[in-house]
Amino acid sequence: MVINTNTSALTSARLLGESSTLLAKSLAKLSSGSKIISPEDDAAGLAVSLRFDAQVNRLDAANNNVGNAMSFNQTRDGFLQKVQKALDRMSELAVLSQDVTKVDADRALYNSEFSTLAAYITNVGTKDFNGVSLFSGTNLGVTLDGEGNTFDMTGINLGSASYTGATGSTISTTTAAGTALTNVKTAITQLATDRSTVGAMQARLSYTSEQIGILRDNLMASNSRMKDVDVAQESAEFARYNILVQAGTAMLAQANASPQSALRLLS
């Protein structure tokens, strides 16, 4: 029996320290919900998880861009619907002005409304969305993914000859009304093409948004498998470490008490 070096107490203290460290880590994992508290827990997993987090954030930004582009397209189509109504009325007025029972004074009244509607269409061509022109005819590059790839959203130009031919016409005479009708019909044909284009772009943007959403979900699921703690499993580990700490504490107390028996030999 020795009293200078209590090897049992030293061993018990070391094991108690290890169990206490494991218990603290298990408690941190349960409280944080993450099984990677520090790089030493899973260095490679942490590196991959960080890249996934960054990619998910980029996808969120890309989806935000797509959402704004969809709003831009919806705004364009909203204006084009009103342009359609204006052109329909202008074509009606052009036909009414060709009525042989009307005099030029009557046609002047028709022309007043015709000119007002033409001015409305011209004004629509100057509208913008957050400072970006809606109808300049310029293609806009919309973000496709988190890597910054884009596709061109086709521009609509209300200042093209197809529209200006109609808006610059007059129906003050029978002859002019005939020419105006031809020009307005050309504008209506162009408008049909433009609204079809806007609809196609809107469908493409919707598919892109859905694709980004699906990719984001898959990345989040993969990231979760790497860094999120399994509460059931970790709870079992926590209970195990807790028992070891309690047992280690009790055994250390016993190991420290053992040398005291040597006092009985001296009494």
User: What digits encode the pLDDT tens for the residues 107-166?
Assistant: 999 999 999 999 999 999 999 999 999 999 899 999 888 888 888 999 999 999 999 999
In this structure, is the dihedral angle defined by the CA atoms of residues 62, 66, 71 and 75, taken in order, positive or negative? Answer: positive
pTM for the predicted model, two decimal places: 0.76
pLDDT band per the 50, 70, 90 thresholds, residue 192: very high
If asked whether residues 234 and 196 sit together in one domain, one would say no
If asked whether residues 255 and 124 sit together in one domain, one would say no
If asked whether residues 192 and 80 sit together in one domain, one would say yes
The reply to whether 38 falls in a domain is no
User: Considering its fold, how many domains does the chain have in total?
Assistant: 2
The reply to whether 199 falls in a domain is yes
If asked whether residues 18 and 118 sit together in one domain, one would say no
Dist. CA 137–CA 254, nearest whole Å = 87
Q: Which residue has the higher pLDDT, 183 or 257?
A: 183
Long-range contacts of 34-42 (CB under 8 A, 24+ apart): 34/227, 34/228, 34/229, 35/227, 35/228, 35/229, 35/230, 35/234, 36/226, 36/227, 42/226
If asked whether residues 108 and 218 sit together in one domain, one would say yes
pLDDT band per the 50, 70, 90 thresholds, residue 236: confident
Q: What is the pLDDT of residue 221?
A: 87
Q: What is the pLDDT of residue 162?
A: 93
Could you list the residue range(s) of the whole structural domain that residue 158 is in? 43-227
Where are the alpha helices (H) located in the chain, listed in sequence order? 7-32, 43-96, 104-124, 161-167, 174-227, 231-257, 262-266
What's the whole-number average pLDDT of the chain? 86
If asked whether residues 249 and 184 sit together in one domain, one would say no
Is pLDDT above 90 for 47? no
